[in-house]
Amino acid sequence: MKKMKMFFDIEKEEQWLNEQLQKGYRCTNISGLGIYSFKKTDKRYVMRLDYQDYLPKKKLVEYKGIYEDFGWMYINGSWLSGIRYWQKEEDGQNEIFSDRQSKCHYYKRLMNYSSSLGLLFLFFSYLIYKDSGLYLTEGLWSMKGAWFWKAFLFETPFALFRLLPALMFAFFASSFYKAYRKHSMLKEQ
Residue 180: pLDDT band by 50, 70, 90 thresholds? Answer: very high
Q: pLDDT tens digits, residue range 45-69? A: 999 999 888 888 899 889 999 889 9
b/e per residue, 143-154, with b = 16+ CB within 10 A?
eeeeeeeebeee
pTM for the full predicted model: 0.76
Q: Mark out the alpha helices in the chain (DSSP H runs).
A: 10-22, 57-69, 100-129, 145-188
At 140 the pLDDT is: 85
Report whether 21 contacts 45 (CB < 8 A).
Answer: yes
Q: Give SS3 for 144.
A: coil
Whole-number Å distance between alpha carbons of 54 and 45: 28
| Mean predicted confidence (pLDDT) in 12-29 | 91
